[in-house]
Amino acid sequence: MAMTIHVDIVSAEGEIFTGMAEMVYAPAVMGEVGIAPRHTPLVTQLKPGEVRVETEGGKEMLHFYVSGGILEIQPHVVTVLADTAIRAADLDEAAAQEAKRRAEDAMANRTSEFEYAKAQAELVEAAAQLRAIERIRKGKRG
Amino acid sequence: MAGAKEIRTKIGSIKNTSKITKAMEMVAASKMRKAQNRMAATRPYAEKMRNVIGHLFHAHPEYKHTFMIEREVKRVGYIIVSSDRGLCGGLNNNLFRKLIKVLRVHRDEGVEVDFCAIGNKALGFFGRVGGKIVSQATHLGDAPHIEDLIGTVKVMLDAYTEGTIDEIYIAYNDFVNTMTQKPTIEQLVPIPPKPDEELKHHWDYIYEPDSKEVLDNLLGRYIESLVYQAVVENGACEQSARMVAMKSASDNANSLIDELQLIYNKARQAAITQEISEIVGGAAAV
């Protein structure tokens, strides 16, 4: 029997593939890599492309599309941490700016939802007070 | 009898309320199941990620990442995961209460705090308390996606890299089971080293293109995946807490209805008795 290597392909939102393989091909940033069993430990980034897995017996070739991610290799285990989102430094930066802006907006304007949350908190307080008053009244009567 | 009609109206309105809470309970129950499935789906990624990070700690990279180096703490960041909506029992309040205690300790030590709010409730609460919210993400919906969190988390990580904050914590509700949600506060950065791991021999990965770039990417993703998992877990907590809260609300409504029904029946009976005695009295007088 040919030597095999364990392959896990996972993304943050779910497991994609797990099983044994004779050979794995992945699109690393420096060029495609082919991984055979007993490969030396390696960590690399992936670029968008196809991960191919040659399953046991070499009969089948499975194809998985990844939009990037991380590839980690141990002598008997290959782990593909696939991205579900499209990543790029400037995209991430834009998202960060957006999150910051939203927080600043919420802090500065204190409008709509912010006000709503505040009003709701006050409402809960008022309701609790009313309930307490009612209870005191009932207690006096009884 | 004067009270009979009012009691009847009250029973009617409570019945309507119980219908609503019953419906919410059932909706929450079905959403909870989905949220639990989602939680199970994210687990393999987090586990694999943890493995890789564990390996990294074994390895001896020539480049030590800032996320692995502890430094003196002057300012800390908190990522707070809460729900967008209320009516879920004490879920958010329990978390905030626990957090407030920790924050008091920080204040006594003279450590300043920045917040990153995920979910409307955290935003509202810490806005009201007067904390400094540096980033936020709300309306993630029932199926949160990791891309909605990237920016929010990056603000915090950037602040750490720049040296503005020296530690990052995450506060969320840990899903124990349907009845129990545990408010949890964990340290994210610097990544706490695992104590039981001993260094067996010196080895290191081959890094492509180079260790700095790969580690930057990998650790960023690791933190993101932890935050994402916390968000997903908090979602499951929210639904189960809502289900339990709504169930007890429906039960309360039902017992209230029973009580009122009894009072109503008594009032009705009293009215009839009174009428009969009036008729009898009238007949006797004639």
User: What ipTM describes this predicted complex?
Assistant: 0.75
Maximum Cα–Cα distance across chain A: 88
Which chain B residues touch A102 with a CB distance below 8 Å? 135-138
Q: Which of B125, B208, B232 to mutate to test the interface with A (most CBs of A within 10 A)?
A: B208
Which chain A residues touch B158 with a CB distance below 8 Å? 96
Q: Which two tokens stand for residue B169?
A: 């914590």
Please say if the pLDDT value at position A39 is more than 80.
yes
A132: phi then psi, degrees, rounded to nearest 5: -65, -45
Strand partners, A126: none
Please say if the pLDDT value at position A142 is more than 70.
no
List pLDDT tens digits, range A42-73: 999 998 888 999 988 777 888 888 888 899 99
Q: How confident is the model at residue A1 (pLDDT cuts 50, 70, 90)?
A: low
Mean pLDDT, rounded, for B263-267:
93
Mean pLDDT, rounded, for B43-66:
81
pLDDT of residue B17: 94
Strand partners, B39: none
Assess B125–A contact: CB distance below 8 Å, yes or no: yes
List pLDDT tens digits, range A6-33: 999 998 888 888 999 999 999 998 899 9
- The residue ranking higher by pLDDT, B238 or A136, is B238
Which chain A residues touch B205 with a CB distance below 8 Å? 41-43, 72
- CA distance linking residue A82 with residue B154, whole number of Å: 19
Average pLDDT of chain B is 88
Q: Please indicate whether, in this complex, the C-beta atoms of B135 and A102 are within 8 angstroms of each other.
A: yes
| Minimum CA–CA partner of B153 in chain A | A96
Find the radius of gyration of the CA atoms of chain A.
Answer: 28
pLDDT of residue A126: 78
Find the radius of gyration of the CA atoms of chain B.
Answer: 28
Q: Please indicate whether, in this complex, the C-beta atoms of A10 and B45 are within 8 angstroms of each other.
A: yes
Angle, vertex CA A43, rays to CA A41 and CA A46, nearest 5: 140
Strand partners, B187: B169
Which chain A residues touch B228 with a CB distance below 8 Å? 12
Assess B88–A contact: CB distance below 8 Å, yes or no: no
Which of the given ranges, A119-123, B89-93, B275-279, has the highest pLDDT on average?
A: B275-279
Q: Please indicate whether, in this complex, the C-beta atoms of B124 and A103 are within 8 angstroms of each other.
A: no
Assess B21–A contact: CB distance below 8 Å, yes or no: no
pLDDT of residue A90: 72
Strands A5-11 and A14-28: antiparallel
- CA distance linking residue B165 with residue B167, whole number of Å: 6
Nearest CB partner across the interface for B209, out of A30, A87, A98: A30
Mean pLDDT, rounded, for B56-84:
84
Percent of chain A with pLDDT over 90: 24
- CA distance linking residue B246 with residue B22, whole number of Å: 7
List pLDDT tens digits, range B188-235: 988 887 655 555 566 778 888 888 888 888 888 899 999 999 999 999
> What own/partner pairs with CB < 8 Å and gap ≥ 24 does B21-29 have?
B21/B246, B21/B249, B21/B250, B21/B253, B22/B246, B22/B250, B24/B87, B24/B242, B24/B246, B25/B242, B25/B243, B25/B246, B25/B247, B25/B250, B28/B239, B28/B240, B28/B242, B28/B243, B28/B246, B29/B239, B29/B243
A11 SS3 class: strand
B98 SS3 class: helix
Residues in CB range of B278: below 8 A, 6 or more apart: none
- CA distance linking residue A96 with residue B149, whole number of Å: 9
Which chain A residues touch B77 with a CB distance below 8 Å? none
Residue whose tokens read 């709503």:
A116
Q: What is the pTM of this model?
A: 0.84
Strand partners, A53: A24, A62
Give A58→chain B minimum CA distance, Å: 26
